[in-house]
Amino acid sequence: MRLDRITADLPTDVPLVTVVMDATRESETGNQAVLTRWKDLRRGLEGQGADEATLEALGERIRTISNAAGQHGRVLVGARGEVLLDCALATPPATDEALYEQGVNAFALARVADEHVRYLLASVDRSGMDVTFHESATASTADDGGTSYEGGHDELTKTNTGGRSHKRYESRAEDSWERNAEAVAHELDRIVTERRPEVVLLTGDVRARALVADAVGQTAKGLLAAIEGGSRSEGVKPETFRANVVAALDEFRLRRREGVLDRFRQIHGQDGAAVSGRDGVLDVLRRGQVAELVITEAVAGPPSSLAGKKLWAGDDPLQIGNHADVVEMGATAPHEVRADLALGRAALAQGAGITVVDEASVKLADGVGALLRWNDAATPNDHVFTQSADPHREGRSRVGRTQEVTEPRS
């Protein structure tokens, strides 16, 4: 998943506070539980050197109840006394985590990106359309207020007058429906071009939906997903309709994730531009080859299964590996960084996406893999060792070089 829409406004010249926490407020004591968790996280951030103004801004935002219901998590990023990002997660993290670091916690933002969907919700009837634009992972109100559009043809009802006039009225009504649908479709095409959603949820009158779906252009048609329960008029059951929207978005996210996995399985199975395993991924990240980093839920965390490992890093995010590696790459002040943070930042630095997947959906050595922009003779090839009886040799490069990932110092 591309993270550029999420990270575009985040500064790169100052340390950032990144908070990932359980924001569930289901019980009577739920609100106090959230505030207690934040108090503990804040204490840790103070110890890391985070500034008071940013902590105050984050605390004020956390005290504001998000619009996500039931069990859910929350990811917040702050700096310079401001909250820069506030997004909801459908599932609470296994553990809360707060970091004050020079650079983003890319794996935390990858979870946001996985749940982030830009979508249009279009409710149509035989006279027009109500449409709103949404960003589904935003913790606060996430629509643009919406607009209404009327087709302009008002002969909408078939009147049972009998005789020839009956057929005339019937024909006029159907003609109005079709003309209104064409006008609505034209407006929907315009909005799709302007707002560039990933999916368009179409609801409302069944006949109007069919007419609009037939009339929209190819771009919008490829984004349409019909859902039941919506209407421009009164009588909508909000809870039922909301459940239908959530189900449609979940289905879209699954298809989006599966598209990445299908490419990885196919290319990796053909020994093409894809690698699996920690050592191979480190090599291709350093060379700027990665188009998409693929990580398991365990690696994404929190807690990340790589959080207890350390890599050496230089000033450039691509300068990662063991101490000798980063010195050879020109690092003037090598320092140790958590392995999960280093991998994520290297991916973002080369414009790569990050996709979080279920462990059971694909076999990834060490829980990490990568789809590449290009490959050559020096690109790691973990298939070289698939016939080996030594499982530790899998995931190395063609030259057999193993990266040094150390346990944190006590």
| Same-domain check for residues 92 and 138 | no
| Same-domain check for residues 307 and 365 | yes
| Same-domain check for residues 94 and 157 | no
| Same-domain check for residues 267 and 352 | yes
* Domain annotation covers residue 195: yes
Alpha-carbon span 260 to 292, nearest angstrom: 8
The last residue of a domain, from among 85, 115, 145: 115
Helices (H), 301-349: 323-328, 339-349
Please report the pLDDT score of residue 386 as a whole number. Answer: 41
Q: What's the average model confidence in pLDDT over 181-201?
A: 95
pLDDT in tens, 360-409: 999 999 999 999 999 998 888 775 444 334 444 344 433 334 444 555 44
| Same-domain check for residues 205 and 330 | no
Please report the pLDDT score of residue 118 as a whole number. Answer: 93
SS3 call for 238: helix
Residue type, 118: R
| Same-domain check for residues 387 and 265 | yes
Please report the pLDDT score of residue 161 as a whole number. Answer: 46
Q: What's the average model confidence in pLDDT over 154-176?
A: 53
* Domain annotation covers residue 250: no
- Cα torsion 162, 167, 168, 173 to 10°: value is 110
Cβ contacts of 170 within 8 Å, gap of 6 or more? 158
**CATH number (domain holding residue 291):** 3.30.1330.30
Q: Which domain holds residue 124?
A: 118-236
pLDDT in tens, 140-153: 444 566 788 887 65
Q: Which residue has the tokens 């984004």?
A: 223
Q: What is the pTM of this model?
A: 0.82
* Domain annotation covers residue 398: no
What would you measure as the largest C-alpha separation in the chain, in angstroms?
Answer: 93
Helix (DSSP H) and strand (DSSP E) numbers for the chain = 12, 16
pLDDT higher than threshold 50 for residue 157:
no
| Same-domain check for residues 65 and 128 | no
Q: Which residue has the tokens 């919406």?
A: 146
| Same-domain check for residues 230 and 153 | yes
| Same-domain check for residues 130 and 109 | no
Q: Is 239 exposed, middle or buried (0-12, 13-18, 19+ CB in 10 A)?
A: exposed
| Token pair of 263 as six digits | 């490419």
What total of structural domains would you count in the chain?
Answer: 3
* Domain annotation covers residue 302: yes
**CA separation, residue 147 to residues 131, 136, 207, 214 (Å):** 6, 18, 21, 22
| Same-domain check for residues 10 and 105 | yes
pLDDT in tens, 268-299: 988 789 999 999 999 999 999 999 999 999 99
* Domain annotation covers residue 243: no
Q: State the chain's mean pLDDT as an integer.
A: 86
Q: Which residue has the tokens 């057999």?
A: 400
SS3 call for 128: strand
| Same-domain check for residues 103 and 60 | yes
pLDDT higher than threshold 50 for residue 159:
no
pLDDT in tens, 79-127: 999 999 999 898 999 999 999 998 889 999 999 999 889 999 999 999 8
| Same-domain check for residues 126 and 207 | yes
